[in-house]
Structure formats: structure tokens, C-alpha cells
């Protein structure tokens, strides 16, 4: 009978411990998933930015291209102001090459500019 009570008490303590830790464990697991999602986002944004730079340097992005086609291919810009889209590395703010794409009132590409930084 004493063994039964001892086992019962140990079981209650164990279940209490596991249940008490389940919320912090779920929080840690969610943080891990969020970190992975952020890393994936940065990797995709960097990849698209490299494609944009490559397309510009090889003269593949032509004047007259519609703005929606640009954002579909290269992703959303870092900044958009008065028909000018700014693209750069999603993390390296200060030393990244910057790309400026200017669109007319009909949302067609009229001008491109690359501001190279640090030999990029």
C-alpha cells in the first residue's frame, strides 16, 4: 500500500511538472519556427535582389516593363516613393548596393540606377 501511494505521488508530481512546462516548451518551439521563417524570408529576399542585380547588369530588365511584373519577379521593394522603388540587401543597410527603379505615371519602367557599395 505504501508503494502505491509513493508511486501515485511521484506520478502526480511528474504530471504536474510536465503540464507546468508545456506552455514554455510550446513558446520555445514557436520561437524556433519563427526564427526559421525569418531566415527563409531573408534568404528569399537576398536571392531576388541578386537576380535583380544580375538582370540589370546583363540588360535583361527593359524600359517599359510594368511595375507589377517587376514586383512579382523581384519582390516588394524596401522603399517606394513617388514612382521610385528602392531595392537593397534586406539586412545589410549601410553597405549594400542599392537599386533605384523609376516608373512613369502609367507604372512603366523608365529609368534604372545602381549605386554600388564595397565592390558589389
Q: What is the pLDDT of residue 33?
A: 81
CA distance 18 to 15: 5
Q: What is the pLDDT of residue 19?
A: 61
Tell me how long the chain is: 120
Q: What is the pLDDT of residue 87?
A: 97
User: What secondary structure, in 3-state letters, does 12-49 show?
Assistant: HHHHHHHHHHHHHHHHHHHHHHHHHHHHHHHHHHHHHH
Positive or negative torsion for Cα 68, 66, 93, 45: positive
Mean pLDDT by runs of 10 across the 120 residues of the chain is 68 64 70 85 95 97 97 96 95 91 97 82
Q: What is the pLDDT of residue 12?
A: 64
Q: Is residue 120 part of a domain?
A: no
Q: Is residue 30 part of a domain?
A: yes
| Beta sheet of 79-81, edge-to-edge order | 79-81, 84-87, 98-103, 109-115
Total structural domains within the chain? 1
Q: What is the pLDDT of residue 44?
A: 96
User: Which residue segment(s) compose the domain that 9 sits in?
Assistant: 2-115
Q: What is the pLDDT of residue 30?
A: 76
Q: Is residue 24 part of a domain?
A: yes
Q: Is residue 61 part of a domain?
A: yes
Q: Is residue 52 part of a domain?
A: yes
Q: What is the DSSP letter of 99?
A: E
- Whole-structure pTM value: 0.72
At 57 the three-state DSSP class reads helix
**CATH number, domain at 85?**
3.30.1450.10
Q: How many CB atoms lie within 10 A of CB 65?
A: 18
Q: What is the pLDDT of residue 94?
A: 84
Amino acid at each position: 500500500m505504501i508503494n502505491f501511494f509513493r508511486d501515485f505521488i511521484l506520478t502526480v508530481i511528474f504530471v504536474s511538472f510536465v503540464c507546468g512546462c508545456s506552455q514554455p516548451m510550446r513558446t520555445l518551439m514557436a520561437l524556433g519556427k519563427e526564427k526559421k521563417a525569418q531566415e527563409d524570408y531573408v534568404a528569399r529576399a537576398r536571392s531576388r535582389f541578386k537576380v535583380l542585380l544580375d538582370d540589370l547588369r546583363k540588360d535583361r530588365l527593359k524600359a517599359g516593363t510594368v511595375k507589377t511584373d517587376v514586383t512579382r519577379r523581384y519582390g516588394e521593394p524596401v522603399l517606394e516613393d513617388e514612382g521610385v522603388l528602392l531595392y537593397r540587401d534586406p539586412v545589410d543597410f549601410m553597405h549594400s548596393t542599392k537599386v533605384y527603379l523609376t516608373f512613369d505615371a502609367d507604372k512603366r519602367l523608365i529609368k534604372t540606377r545602381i549605386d554600388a557599395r564595397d565592390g558589389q
